[in-house]
Amino acid sequence: MIRSMTGFGRQQAPWQDGSVTVEMRSVNHRFLEIGCRLPRPLSHLEDSIKKAVQQRCARGRIDITVSVQGGKGRAGSVNLDQTLAKQYYQALRTLKKSLKLSGSIDLALMSGLRDVVSISDQPAEDPKLEKVVQRLTTQALTDLATMRAGEGKVLAEDMRSRIQTIRGRKTVVAGRSPLLAQEAYDKMKLRVEKLLGSDTPDLPRLYQELAVFADRGDITEEIVRLDSHMIQFEQTLNSIEPVGKTLDFLLQEIGREVNTIGSKANDAEIAGQVVLMKAELERIREQVQNVE
């Protein structure tokens, strides 16, 4: 069964007096692209997490976030933004001068300004924490894959339904096709006879040329190929392998046959059916862009 490239997975577990969370989000992408955001002490797990994702997913942009909330034994760090502090200082001096304010711009005032001094905490390195993250990653990846498979099933059903609609339009076209050559021949024959009358030289040869011209509008081959492509498309929807690119290729071939039928037939009724088939193909194309 085909899989969508859109999905979400999230797993959380208690850790000391806090919690550990692994979250995965995937969206459409031409290839497989993986982004990881981990606390610095867990950054060495990035490669193993990416390899685990690569084993389950073939296409899509997948963003993975690992966060540790609360907990004891966390390593904190104090960050000082000197550039911002200097900007604050200059702004306060300007304000003090322009408004003729009293008071001093001292350390107590500067350290209390927003983002001048900030504290970031990171979980301390702990083998047990690494195992928890790895377990949650596996579980979140399973959730992600399950959602992608579920949405893929819905996409497959929708595309099958639309292929059946196109097949119905094709049946109408196929029923109309045998009449086209004879109608074209009769129209041209009548025109020639009306223009030339009894002065037509080598009338059998002229009729032969008219028959050849009318036969150029025959769409039997295109109808056969169209039916073959649609069968392949439906069979591909049952594959367990990533088939997004294959479906896209088959859709192009189906569209090519439909366009050729419309241009060769030169018939109002068939042209109407071609327009309806193109509308369904466009809707299928939108769905295929989301298939892994």
| pLDDT tens-digit map of 57-66 | 999 999 999 9
- d(CA 262, CA 273) in angstroms, rounded, equals 9
Q: Coil, strand or helix: which one is 260?
A: helix
Q: How far apart are CA 281 and CA 228, in angstroms?
A: 16
Phi and psi, residue 49, nearest 5°: -65, -45
Higher pLDDT, 154 or 116: 154
Element (H, E) at 49: helix 46-56
Over residues 153-158, the mean pLDDT reads 94
Sheet bearing 32-37, strands edge to edge: 7-15, 18-27, 60-69, 32-37
Token look-up 């049946």 returns 171
C-alpha dihedral, 167 to 172 to 175 to 180, nearest 10°: -120
User: What pLDDT score was predicted for residue 53?
Assistant: 94
Q: Which domains does the chain have, with CATH numbers?
A: 7-73+126-148 (3.30.230), 74-122 (no CATH), 150-288 (no CATH)
pTM as predicted = 0.69
pLDDT greater at residue 122 or residue 170: 170
Average pLDDT over residues 163-180: 89
User: Alpha helix locations (H) across 61-217?
Assistant: 82-99, 107-111, 127-196, 203-215
More confident residue, 125 or 228: 228
Q: Is a pLDDT exceeding 80 seen at residue 248? A: yes
- Give mean pLDDT, residues 204-216: 66
